[in-house]
Structure 1
Amino acid sequence: MKNRKKLVITLIGVIVLGIGLFVYQTFIKKQLHFKENMTVEINGKFNPNSYISEVEHGSVKDVACQSKNLNIKKLGKYEVTYTYKNREYTTTIQVVDTQKPVFKGLDDLTVSLNTTPDLKAGVEVSDNSLEEIKYKIDDKNLDTSKEGTYEVTYVAKDSSGNKTIAKRKIEVIKKIGSDKQSNEKVVYLTFDDGPSENTKKIMDILAKYDAKATFFVTGRNQDYNYLIKDAYNAGHTIALHTYSHEYSTVYASVDAYFDDLNKVGQMVKKEIGFVPHYIRFPGGSSNTVSRRYCQGIMSTLTKEVVEKGYQYYDWNGDSTDASGNHVAVDKLIRNGTSCHDNNVMILCHDTQAKDTTVQALPAIIEHYKNLGYTFKGIDDATYAPHQSVNN
């Protein structure tokens, strides 16, 4: 009888213990565990599962989250509710701002002597808070009256106290290019609109005659961008002709022009390691088509490019291959050899459709060589022919 009584007591104890264990496991013990860092960056992406460190007897797929009270766009602490096996777990998520502001457009800048550079032009600063971030510029060491390399400091700070200090190099140089022709008899062959299928053919002809040239490149045919580096390594000059070469784009405004110019500059930098400072305006500085998009823009650009350390080059010799595709070879030779100045800058084009330009090139080179001219690429001392500005 006693043994039976003990057995009953034991069974009751086991049952009670089992019920207690069940109650503890189900209703008392946490089965969902969270990480220590319960923060999310303001305007960031909230991933509720990323805060769970362990799910006992299940997986994160079994967990639901209710985060309607969480405002990811405002700093603060918010309660978020997770549900697992019909049990709710309330935790606190804090929206924080720990990211520093980010500067863009602080590439090295080259400016001419005795000019006042716009140190804000093209500069952008952003922050994950999406607030408007103001910044200060410390240019007390910049002296544009003297040639040299200077450092300017940009400081930005957001409302959370995150601070960014960035440095920018400013190189002050003499104005590139000469207003007068030299006494040396030189031909500057210039090829716009490349690179293209014809660039290699042009370089082969130039190599045959030991002649150097200048390529004013665009971003319109980037399958051939490797030829930019090949041309540079062969001793030719690489210059800029805008990225898009779309008149409606480059002449929409002064800022639009410089945005496009900067884009092609960065493209070329990837190939040769630096941004050239020799440029040619689409249509030349005398173009009138720019009037359709921005009245007076050429009058402004011709001054501002020089102030920013560029020099623009028009031409005093013209092959006239811009008049159409597949222009007759004899016409190109006749027009391309018609200039008799000491310094001859000849306009040619480098596109797939200018096959007759390639054919006419040897005769043009031979003509000037027979007259005692040498063929060079543009450099800082090169005569810069400028046409009359018509807008």
Structure 2
Amino acid sequence: MVDIVLLFLTLAGQVRAKFTCKSDGHFGDENDCTKFYHCANGRAMGGFCPAGLLWNQATQQCDWPSMTDCDFTIEKAKQLQVESPTILYLTFDDGPNLGTTELLDALKAHNIRATFFINDDNLEITEKRNETQVLENANNLVRIVAEGHMVADHSYDHMKHNSDGPKDAYQDISNDISYFGPRNAAPALYLLKKAGFEEATINFVNYTLNYFVRMPYSNNWRVGLDNGRAISADCLECTVPASSSRKAVKIADVLAKEYGVQVFGWDMEWSMNFNTNRIKYGGTPMFMRLGTGAHSKQKGKIVLLCHDIAFRPHEITGSLSAQEELLEFLDLAKNAGYQFKTLDTYYMDEPQTQSV
């Protein structure tokens, strides 16, 4: 189903091969179902299957998981220890929303804290969002804070005042920038005060909601590090037309330079189908992708983008629900030695060598 020649030309060289070739040909990695090797003249060149596919040794190509005999276990994950200490920052966008309850249950089961980039218009009743859903969203926002997760700014309405998608998402710099910061923070803070949180907690949430931003549709970075090295990156292809992307870049500049905001993008994404709002592949393939060379902005740190709604109750390929796929991913990542943090400490974090 995937042209192995094209796949090889695209992906070869992305990994350093540590594979012993016994003959020429293509071979899968015994510990990583997303990895394969092309052996020629005794030399191995490594590559990775596209997102959602695994290596099928029988057909010598990348294939749908259901067509392969890949059986990746916790025991194998323990063998596949990360080569150097690595921090994984789980981030979830567009909540609180459908799926947030399932996310929180999974994170609580593993005692893992994550960063939630929220849109506070989820606390409003609309034609598409009834009172029951708004109440669940409000309860989940309270739960996010109560269970020690970080809350950050994803704009008040995900730029819906301009567009319900990446096309023309950014139109007027001065107006669009007003949807970040206090406008998005105020409803959340009001809710937390009504819920009886202590002043120190409310002050911290006020801080993170005003000074940590992810821009909708844009993988832009403006992060200043304590060691003097700054991260600045733009995604000019994230929104269309080009004028929208240029405005998004300008907004990132203003947020950082004039308001002192830390603008975070992402290093890797747990891809979802935006037509069905479902994850495209399960926990095991996502875990395997962590080792594919994410081009992380900081060595030893991976910021992973996910979306709350992709983990709402439903079935995906096979018998596992999206929540069960997340639980499997967390199992594998923890056993492989990944450390979990929230973005408020990104600048200061140093990956720690863990004792075996």
The TM-score normalised by the length of structure 1 is 0.46
Describe the superposition over 1:173-201 as per-residue Cα deviations: whole angstroms up to 9, x where unpaired: xxxxxxxxxx7421111110110232122
1:344 is matched with which residue: 286, 299, 302?
Answer: 302
Aligned equivalents of 1:241 and 1:186: distance in 2? 22
Alignment pair present for 1:255 and 2:220: no
Alignment match, 1:269: 189
1:291 corresponds in structure 2 to 241
Deviation at 1:313, TM superposition (A): 1.3
C-alpha separation in 2, matches of 1:301 and 1:353: 30
Cα–Cα, structure 1 residues 304 and 283, in superposed 2: closer, same or farther, change >3 Å?
A: same
How far apart, CA to CA, are the structure 2 residues paired with 1:312 and 1:214? 13
Residue number in structure 1 paired with 2:122: 221
Identity %: 20
Contact residue 213 and residue 262 of structure 2 kept, 8 A: yes
Higher-Rg structure is 1
What's the CA shift string for 1:42-92, capped at 9, x where partnerless? xxxxxxxxxxxxxxxxxxxxxxxxxxxxxxxxxxxxxxxxxxxxxxxxxxx
How many Å separate the matches in 1 of 2:327 and 2:156?
A: 29
Any idea what SS the aligned residue of 1:379 has?
A: helix
Write 1 or 2 for the structure with the bigger share of helix: 2
The question of whether the paired residues in 2 share the 8 Å contact of 1:187 and 1:376 is answered with yes
Give unmatched runs, 5+ long, in structure 2. 1-83, 124-133, 164-168, 193-201, 221-234, 295-299, 314-320, 350-356
More relative contact order in 1 or in 2 (CA 8 Å, sep 6+)? 2
Given the alignment of the two structures, is residue 335 of structure 1 paired with residue 286 of structure 2, yes or no? Answer: yes
SS of the residue corresponding to residue 193 of structure 1 reads strand
Change (3 A) 1:221 1:215: same
Residue 297 of structure 2 is aligned to residue 378 of structure 1? no
Give 1:348's aligned amino acid.
C
- Contact 1:212-1:377 at 8 Å conserved across structures: yes
Aligned to 2:333: 368
Distance 1:383 1:290 in 2: 35
Match of 1:91 in 2: none
Q: 1:281 to 1:332 in 2, by over 3 A?
A: farther
Q: 1:293 to 1:265 in 2, by over 3 A?
A: farther
SS at match of 2:344: coil
Q: Distance in 1 between matches of 2:283 and 2:92?
A: 14
For residues 336 and 327 of structure 1, what CA distance do their matches in structure 2 show?
17
Aligned pairs for 1:1-391 within 5 A: 184-222=85-123, 223=134, 224-246=137-159, 248=162, 251-262=170-181, 263-272=183-192, 273=202, 274-275=206-207, 276=209, 277-284=211-218, 285=220, 286=235, 287-291=237-241, 294=244, 296-307=246-257, 308-321=259-272, 323-325=274-276, 327=278, 330-331=281-282, 333-340=284-291, 342-351=300-309, 354-355=312-313, 357-382=322-347
- Counterpart Cα distance in 1 of 2:249 and 2:139: 35
Rate the CA distance shift 1:189–1:381 in 2: closer, same or farther, 3 A: closer
SS in 2 for 1:360: helix
Structure 1 residue 246 displacement after superposition: 3.0
Give the whole-Å Cα distance in 2 for the aligned partners of 1:352 and 1:260: 24
Q: Distance in 1 between matches of 2:153 and 2:273?
A: 18
The structure where strand makes up a greater share of residues is 1
Q: Which runs of 5+ in 1 are unaligned?
A: 1-182, 385-391
